[in-house]
Amino acid sequence: MDPGQEKWLTNLAALKRAIKATSVLSTVLDDKWFEAVEEEIKIASAPLTADPSDFLYDFCHHLRDEDWFEEIQRLALEGRLAEVDEDARLGLLLFGLDPLRTTIPLLEARLRAFATLTIKPDKVEGKLAELRNARCNPSFKNHLFELAVLGDLALKNVLIDIEDASTGVDGVIRVDGRDILVEATNTVQRVIPNFVGVGVLDPNIQIDQVVKKVRKKVAEGRQLALANGKPTLLFLARTYLGAGRELAGVALHDCFAHPHFSSLSGVVLADSWKLSATQWHEGIKPDVPFSQAESDRLAEWYRAK
């Protein structure tokens, strides 16, 4: 077995231990899934078909189980980063916290909040079944992002409906006494070449990716275009080798300035499907603007921090 395979298997074993400790995620990524990924790693060196969404890749960490790193990570998670010397802080800055310690607990909390919703239990179970069925599909993270968004809103005690019958939107929240239609989508296309070296990239390619994705949600007859006098909120996740944060912001500004996108009241832009780092973008002149109270609440939850 080559070193690459060993690294994959070590990270897979760590992910399995973390997932085993959950109640909802463990029903999605069960022993059968882990066995399929492990078998493919042993045969093909990487889980190309068992994990086409690269879920395992997102939870690899080069410094996991290194004593010095685990110690500074413990201090950071306890809010004691001031006790860490500058060299150790640099290592933490370069490699980040272990996603098994940060993303998995957050994702599990959101999925658990969604799974325990009392509204439309058949729809809830159907969404969870879709998630399980998609675990070996490239679209797996799309389903994860949608349920993470709905679960996050449930944790904030504002989610009042899912799969709205009249519009087909993913959810409805109530903020300051008014209903807001919510849709979540993930930009999955990789528009930046994966190469090492110096190159010139056309920024319009990245801008167009975001504009096209947003247009699909506000086009005539689509979910957010059927708002019927209600404000609308789109959660949009960027993807690896997709539009960068700054150019995605430019794209949203262009959308807000065009009348074809006037049904869109605001956008929460997430750096990835994990819904951890976010930015709040309020519409410029939407058909139905947010009230000041609604805008302040959304900004409090999702503006960059």
Q: Where are the domains of the chain?
A: 3-104, 106-302
The secondary structure of 152-212, three-state, reads: HHHHCCCEEEECCCCCCCCEEEEECCEEEEEEEEECCCCCCCCCCCCCCCCHHHHHHHHHH
Confidence at 194, pLDDT banded by 50, 70, 90: low
Confidence at 224, pLDDT banded by 50, 70, 90: confident
**pLDDT at 219 > cutoff 80:** no
Alpha carbons 120 and 101: distance in angstroms, whole number: 32
pLDDT digits (tens, 9 = 90+) for 46-60: 787 899 999 999 999
- Which is it for the CA torsion 104, 110, 116, 120, positive or negative? negative
**pTM (2 decimals)?**
0.92
Measured between its terminal Cα atoms, the distance across the chain in Å is 43
Taking the CA atoms of the chain, what radius of gyration do you get in angstroms?
20
pLDDT digits (tens, 9 = 90+) for 244-274: 888 999 999 999 999 989 999 999 999 999 9
pLDDT digits (tens, 9 = 90+) for 153-187: 999 999 999 998 888 899 999 999 999 999 999 88
Confidence at 305, pLDDT banded by 50, 70, 90: low
Q: Are 285 and 262 in contact (CB under 8 A)?
A: yes
**pLDDT at 196 > cutoff 60:** no
**pLDDT at 200 > cutoff 70:** no
